[in-house]
Copies of this chain bind each other. A is one copy, B any other.
Amino acid sequence: MTAYSDLMAFQRETEALAQVMGRLGWDQETMMPSGAAAQRAEEMGALETVLHARRTDQRLGDWLEHAVAPDDVAAANLRHIRRSFERSRRVPARLASELARVTSRAQGIWAEARANEDVAGFLPILSEVVALRREEGAALGEGADVYDALLEGYEPGTTSSELTAMFTALRPRLVALRDRVLSAPEPAQLTGIFPEEGQMILADVCARAFGYDFTRGRLDKAVHPFSSGSGLDVRITTRTNPADPFNCIYSTIHEVGHATYEQGIDSAHFLTPLGQGASMGVHESQSRIYENQLGRSRAFTGWLYGRMRDIFGDFGIDGEDAFYRAINRVSPGFIRTEADEVQYNLHVLLRFDLEQALMRGDLQVQELEAAWNDRFLADFGRPVDRPSHGLLQDVHWSVGLFGYFPTYSLGNVYAGCLHDAMRRALPDLDGDLARGDASGAVQWLRDRLQRHGGLREPRDTVADAIGGGPSEGPLLDYLETKFGSLYLA
């Protein structure tokens, strides 16, 4: 027991320091004065050095060797710490620091290239990032698949072949649904100007409707919406655009999904490896089920219509049904982050296939733009019109996030399964949502999934919640039913 309790005392400090890093990131995006960026980089760099040293500290190896797990919780803690320790030690310090240096530079070059539609200006640094991440993947994998080794960092216990099976089943039905929907008449679109103060009031109302605990968090504006922190301090941000209140509302509900997951974890796991969401994919399942299956449902949007009218008066959409259609409007577009439920996963699948090929050496960086554009034409039925609508649109690859994209679609698949099970368990859910009351849904997710944090492996976390292995079927059925009735009825 001594080795285990020493280990956990050390780990608790590491978790607390990791939370501090989260505070700095939050502050940077919300409160930090513009002229403080150079200092913030030094502050975060120094803290990262401390964290890296702790994560590779040789004492961890000794404690792990002698620690005995008295119960499931302890076994799970040891599993997390061992995985982190072994992964951290496999990456040579030289490579880790090179990656930090190059990706930091690459992010700036990417932003400039995107602004200038300049693919050629981005590819050289992307090649460097790709080479370094392939090297890292090889070190992490120790002979196993490079891409799976990277994926493991975001979605432990999940392999690319499992995802490929899932996504291969998704793609044709999504392409077909997209085709049919976009051939149907377009519904009315929201127009007009919606004052930002009113949007923030709505954001607050929606956050509360979805169970966000403001005594352990706060809601601010930022350029990019995000959720930050675990435990007793989980903060979210949203953004406002006078022409697009839906963006503010649904960004907020999405982040509330992430945040209430963290807030819903059993306090026994506070500042332990279990005190955070199980994986990126499981996290995304929470944000997406809040945002889409619940937040964009006919029942909830009916209630939301009333709140919109309370704040903005008559805004030109006549009735709850038209409002529901406007919110769930599907239109041709190039940008993943703006995509509707029907098309979103097609964007992700495209990136998943391309990044696997890049990591495995089956696709060269010089061939990437052509590959992107070919695939986009095949799945979306029209050509990419400019690089910022194509391969320059996402920041992810510039900062080395290979293996991250598929967790978005995995999260949607999980959300589909959870929604299916939740509907069976809560027959009156729509009645509640129609009154703006998502507490039943939130409580169901909390009891079945959120409270366990990282206790179980990600896939098992979802499987236990739904009572069986997750699959893509429920998501597809849900989408075909919903958008069938919206567009094809």
Contact = CB atoms under 8 A, between A and B. Distances in A.
A326 interface: no
A46 B24 contact: no
* Interface magnitude class on chain A: 35 or more
Interface in A159-192: none
Contacts of A33: 214-218, 232-233, 235
Interface in A26-77: 27, 31-40, 42-43, 45-47, 49-50
Contacts of A12: 42, 46
A39 B233 contact: yes
Interface stretch (A14-22, A422-430, A475-483): A14-22
Copies in the complex: 2
A142 interface: no
A35 B24 CA distance: 19
Contact of A49 (B13, B23, B231): B13
B218 A35 contact: no
Contact of A39 (B19, B36, B42): B19
A481 to B, nearest CB: 40
A232 B38 contact: yes
A196 interface: no
Contacts of A50: 17, 50
A16 B31 contact: no
Contacts of A32: 233
A213 interface: yes
Contact of A35 (B23, B37, B216): B216
Contact of A20 (B13, B20, B37, B217): B20
Nearest to A19: B43
Interface string A223-243: 000000001110100000000
Interface string A439-452: 00000000000000
With a 10 A CB-CB cut-off, give which of A12, A16, A218 has the most chain B CB atoms: A16
A234 B482 CA distance: 52
Contacts of A206: none
With a 10 A CB-CB cut-off, give which of A14, A37, A38, A232 has the most chain B CB atoms: A232
B35 A20 contact: no
Nearest to A41: B16
A43 B16 contact: yes
A37 B217 CA distance: 12
A271 interface: yes
B17 A47 contact: yes
A16 B46 contact: yes
A45 B16 CA distance: 9
Contact of A271 (B16, B42, B49): B42
Given A33-B217, A232-B38, A20 B16 contact: no
B24 A20 contact: yes
A235 B16 CA distance: 24
A32 B234 CA distance: 10
Contacts of A34: 215
B20 A46 contact: yes
A218 B42 contact: no
Contacts of A40: 233
With a 10 A CB-CB cut-off, give which of A14, A24, A42 has the most chain B CB atoms: A42
A270 B23 CA distance: 23
A46 B17 contact: yes
A213 B35 contact: yes
Contacts of A218: 31, 33
Contacts of A20: 20, 24, 43, 46-47
A79 to B, nearest CB: 23
Nearest to A45: B16
Given A36-B216, A38-B232, A49-B13, A43 B23 contact: yes
A217 to B, nearest CB: 6
A43 B12 CA distance: 10
Contacts of A216: 33, 35-36
A32 B253 CA distance: 21
Contacts of A49: 13
A273 to B, nearest CB: 15
For the complex of A and B, 3 pairs with smallest distance between CB atoms: A36-B233, A16-B46, A35-B215
Interface of A: 12-14, 16-17, 19-20, 23-24, 27, 31-40, 42-43, 45-47, 49-50, 213-218, 231-233, 235, 270-271
18 contacts: A12-B42, A12-B46, A14-B46, A17-B43, A17-B46, A17-B50, A19-B39, A20-B20, A20-B46, A23-B27, A23-B43, A31-B31, A33-B235, A34-B215, A35-B213, A36-B216, A37-B232, A39-B231
